[in-house]
Amino acid sequence: MSTLATVAGWQTPFSIPPFEAYPDNQFRDSFDSALTSARKRIDAIATNPDAPCFANTVEALELASWELDRICSVFFNLVAADSNEIREKLQADLAPRLASFSNEVAMNQGLFQRIDKLWQSRSELSLDEEQKRVLELHYRDFVRSGASLDPESRNRFASIRVRLAELRTAFAQNLLKSERDWTLDLSGDEVSNLPGFLVSALEEAARERGLRGYCLTLNRSLIVPFLQYSESRKLRQVAVEAWCNRGAPGTRTDNSVLLEEILALRQELAELLGYRCYADYKLETEMAKSPLQVRKLLDAVWKPALGQARKDASVLQAMMQDDGVDDQLMPWDWRLYAERRRSREFDIDQSEAKQYFPLPRMIEAAMDCAGRLFGLEFEEILPQLYHPDCRAWRVSRQGDDIGIFIGDYFARPSKRSGAWCSTFLDQKKHGGTSRPVVVNVCNFVKPSQGQPCLLSFDDTRTLFHEFGHALHALLSDVRYEKVSGTAVARDFVELPSQLFEHWMELPEVLSKHARHAETGDAIPEDMLAALLAARNFDQGFGTVEYLASAYVDLTFHTSDKISAPLSIERQVLDDIGMPRAIVMRHSASNFAHVFATEGYASGYYSYLWSEVLDADVFETFLEEGGPFNANTTQRLEQHILSAGGSRRPDDMYIDFRGRLPSADALLRKRGFA
C-alpha cells in the first residue's frame, strides 16, 4: 500500500471507510498511533533547516495529520449517528487530548514563524489564486488560535481551548441522554384519534425500545405530528415541556452550569486576542463581518414576522375558544390549531398527503434534480456500512467517478437529534486525488417492518436541504483539502443547502416523483396545488421561533460579562416581544448548534443570512430561463459549488450574480413582502 494512495483515501472499493477495521476497543490505539505520526511530521516541518517555501511548509502541513483526519472522520461520525457507552466515554477522553494537539500545532513557534515569513513575502511568491487563499487561511488560523500571543497568554489560551472541548462534549452527551431516556407511554385510547401513520410510528418507537403499546419520544419527526393531532391538551403540554426542558436546571442532564462556563471562557478567549466580545472575534471571518450587521438583518425580518405571528395567534385563539377551551393560547396549542386551520383553508389532509411522499421516491426526486442540473448519475451499491439502515450510492458524471453518497435516514436512540451532512473523506488533489465520501443523516420516523416510510412536506424539505450540502461536497473541485467542499464561511455554507430546497417545491418535480406509496398514482393536481399554496403557511410562527434563538445567541456572545444566562435569555425574549404562545426553537440549555460545537456560536443567524443569498440565487434562475437553465447552473457550479472555500464568499457571489443581494428576495420568499 503506497503512502500516497493512503493519503488520498482508504484502500477499499470507492474509498469507503472500512468500518469493520475500527472496532470500539481499538479506536484508542488508532488515535494514539495517528497522533504520534502527526506530531513527528509537524516537528519535521517546524525544524526543517531549509528556507520556508509553499511546498515544504504549507503543502507539507496540509498532509501532516492525514491519519488523524481519517480516524476522526470515522469516530466522530459514529458518535453522532450511532453512539454507545464505549464511544461516549472515549469521546469524553479524546476531547481534551485532541484540543491539546490542536494547541500544539497552532502555537508551535517554529511552524508559525515559517508561515509568517511566507505571509509577509506573499507578493514575491509565485502562487496561484487557490494557493494564495490557502496561505491566507493558514496564517489567519494561526493568529486566531493564539500563535502571536506572549507565552503566558498562549498558555492560558491553550488551557481555555482544552476546557471548552471538555465542556462542549459534556453538553452534547447530556443532550443525547435527555433525548434518549425520555419516553411517554401512551394507551390505546390516547392514540385512538391520531392518524394511522402516527399510531404506527408510536408503536414502532415502543417496539424499538423493548416496550409494549405506544410511546412518544423526543424525536422531532415524532413529537411535531403528535402536537399537530393529539386532542389531549394535557399530553401536548407534557410533550412540549419535555422538549423545552432538555438539559434544563434541576434535571439529571442539567446543562446550565456548563453553558455559563462556556460563555465565560469564550469571552476570555476573545479578550486575549484583543476583541471586545466573542461575537466580534467570531464574525470577523464571516460574510456578516460584525454583530451590528447581523442585528440589522434580524431586525429587518423580525418586525414583519412578529406581526404575522400575532395575526395568526388571534385566529388560533378564537378557534380554541370555539372549541370550548377557556384559556390563553399556549405553545402546546399552536401546532394543533394551526394544522386544523391549514386543513380548513387549503383543504389538505396531511395524513393523506404523506402517502405521496414515500422516502424512496423523495430520494429519487433529489437525485433526479441533481442529474438534470449537474449531469450526476447515482448507482446504488451495497458496501458494508456502519449501520444496517444506511444506504450508499456511487456518484458519477459522464463515466467519471465523482464520489460516494451515503444516506442514514431513520431515527434511533443512539443517534443525536436533528439532520446534518458530514464527510468521511473530502475531495482534494494534493497528495493524491481523493473523491468525497459524503453522508446525510436524518431522523425520520422508522416505519414498522413492511410499511413504507412516509415523509411530511417539511421532512421532504429537510431531505433536499441536506442533499444540497452533499452536492456542495460532491461537486468540489479544488487542490487542497483546506478549502474543499463545505469548508467555507459559516454564513455562506447554508447557501447550497437552502437553495436546493427550491427544487423540492417545483410542480414539475412533484408531479413526477410524488407518487402514492401503495398504488404508485401521481399526486392529484388539486392536492399538489394546495400544498404549494400553503408553503408559506405559518411562516410567522416558524420565523419567530427561529429568530428568537438567533437573538439569544447573538446577545450571549456580544455581552462582555455573562452570568445567569437563562435569566438573560428570558430578558431577550421580553425585549423582542416574544409571543407567549411560541417557544424559541432552541433554548440555551439544549442549544446544540451553539454549545455542543463552536461552529454556530454567535452564528445561528447564518441560516437567515444564507437564505438572503439563496432567495436571490433562485430568482436569478427564474430571470434567466427557469430552474433548470443550463447557463445559470454552469455559473453556480463554477463560482460556488465547485470552488469550496478557495475564494472569499463575497467575491464568489459577485462573480455569480454580478452584485451582492438585499433582503428583498428573502421577504418575498417568506411571504412578508
Contacts of residue 59, defined as CB under 8 A and 6 or more positions apart, other chains included, come to: 430, 431, 480
- Phi and psi at residue 417, to the nearest 5°: -75, 170
C-alpha closest to that of 552 among 609, 594, 582: 594
DSSP string for 556-609? HHH-SS---HHHHHHHHHHHHT--TT---SS-GGG-HHHHS-STTTTTTTHHHH
Could you give the CA distance from residue 372 to residue 97 in angstroms, rounded to a whole number?
46
**Grid cell in block for residue 464:** 433536499
End-to-end CA distance of the chain: 60
Contact 81, 387 (CB under 8 A): yes
Instruction: List the alpha helices (DSSP H) in 47-127.
Output: 60-63, 66-81, 85-106, 109-120
Angle between helices 85-106 and 66-81 (to 10 degrees): 140
Q: Is 538 left (phi over 0), alpha (psi -120 to 50) or beta?
A: left
Contact 443, 417 (CB under 8 A): yes
Q: What is the DSSP letter of 121?
A: T
Contacts of residue 66, defined as CB under 8 A and 6 or more positions apart, other chains included, come to: 6, 7, 431
Catalytic hit among 190, 286, 466, 545:
466
466 catalytically annotated: yes
**Grid cell in block for residue 119:** 505571509
Place of cell 468540489: 476
Q: What is the DSSP letter of 596?
A: S
Catalytic residue IDs: 466
